[in-house]
């Protein structure tokens, strides 16, 4: 990389070579963000070792929750929160996160089959932005196309009653969302 300077006493422009390890202040790499809604790469870097992740399936009436183990290998269904309003829902979610020493949130982003965002995806983005204002922990939006349908198929194949399916579908969908993100992060870290 070369920095160009003017030589005032010679009247000509000279080129000075800088060592490759030297960066100009305007070219310094940006510091990795620690919180907010992040990309997968940023999210993985922002996580502290030994902290769990919480997976969230954001529905209009419920929040399905899943929790990872501290090694971030396995996601397990946690619970379903019946939604009231954002503030009490978020307060309860943050208390669960504190209890389990959660270091990050993986929120399902329900894209349409063609990859475009509809009203549900926009609502999930709004939920993530509002949650980011309340916690310094990083947040990852994870493509969850068909996670609820996959959870429904799994429950039906296990002959789960309709009533029981309604009770567990959201936290099972959150588990599928979180496990997908955990698997991808593991693959990504291997190179």
**pLDDT at residue 146, rounded to an integer:** 63
pLDDT of residue 112: 84
Which has more pLDDT, 18 or 33? 33
Report which listed range, 19-33, 154-168, 170-184, is most confident: 170-184
Asked whether residue 130 carries a pLDDT value surpassing 50, the answer given is: yes
What ranges do the domains of the chain cover? 36-190
Query: What pLDDT, in 10s, does the model give residues 32-66?
Result: 567 899 999 999 999 999 999 999 999 999 999 99
Q: What CATH number has the domain spanning 36-190? A: 3.30.420.140
CA neighbor of 63 nearest in space, from 102, 97, 100, 89: 89
Asked if the model's pLDDT at residue 17 lies above 60, the reply is no
Q: How far apart are CA 107 and CA 101, in angstroms?
A: 17
Comparing 15-24, 108-117, 148-157, which segment has the lowest mean pLDDT? 15-24
Euclidean distance between CA atoms 141 and 70, whole angstroms: 20
- For the record, the structure tokens of 24 come out as 């100009």
Mean pLDDT of 177-187: 93
Neighbours of 120 (CB within 10 A): 16
Collapse the DSSP code of 69 into the 3-class scheme (helix H, G, I; strand E, B; otherwise coil) and give the result. Answer: coil
Which tokens is 157 given? 């194949």
**What pLDDT score was predicted for residue 31?**
54
Place of tokens 């009770």: 167
Query: What are the tens digits of pLDDT across the range 73-129?
Result: 999 999 999 999 999 999 999 999 999 999 999 999 998 888 899 999 999 999 999
- For residue 156, what pLDDT is reported? 72
Predicted TM-score of the model (pTM): 0.77
Confidence of residue 131 (pLDDT cuts 50, 70, 90): very high
Q: How many residues does the chain have?
A: 191
């Amino acid at each position: 990389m070369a920095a160009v300077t003017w030589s005032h006493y010679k009247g000509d422009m000279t080129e000075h070579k800088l060592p490759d390890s030297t960066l100009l202040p305007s070219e310094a790499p940006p510091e990795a963000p620690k919180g907010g809604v992040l990309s997968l790469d940023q999210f993985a870097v922002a996580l502290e070792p030994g902290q769990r992740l919480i997976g969230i399936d954001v529905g209009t009436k419920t929040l399905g929750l899943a929790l990872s183990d501290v090694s971030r290998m396995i996601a397990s269904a946690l619970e379903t929160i019946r939604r009231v309003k954002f503030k009490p829902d978020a307060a309860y979610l943050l208390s669960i996160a504190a209890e389990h020493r959660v270091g990050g949130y993986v929120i399902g982003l329900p894209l349409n089959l063609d990859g475009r965002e509809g009203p549900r995806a926009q609502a999930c983005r709004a939920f993530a932005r509002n949650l980011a204002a309340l916690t310094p922990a990083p947040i990852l939006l994870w493509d969850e196309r068909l996670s609820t349908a996959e959870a429904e198929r799994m429950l039906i194949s296990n002959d789960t009653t309709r009533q029981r399916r309604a009770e567990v579908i959201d936290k099972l969908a959150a588990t599928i969302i979180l496990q997908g993100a955990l698997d991808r992060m593991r693959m990504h870290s291997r190179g």
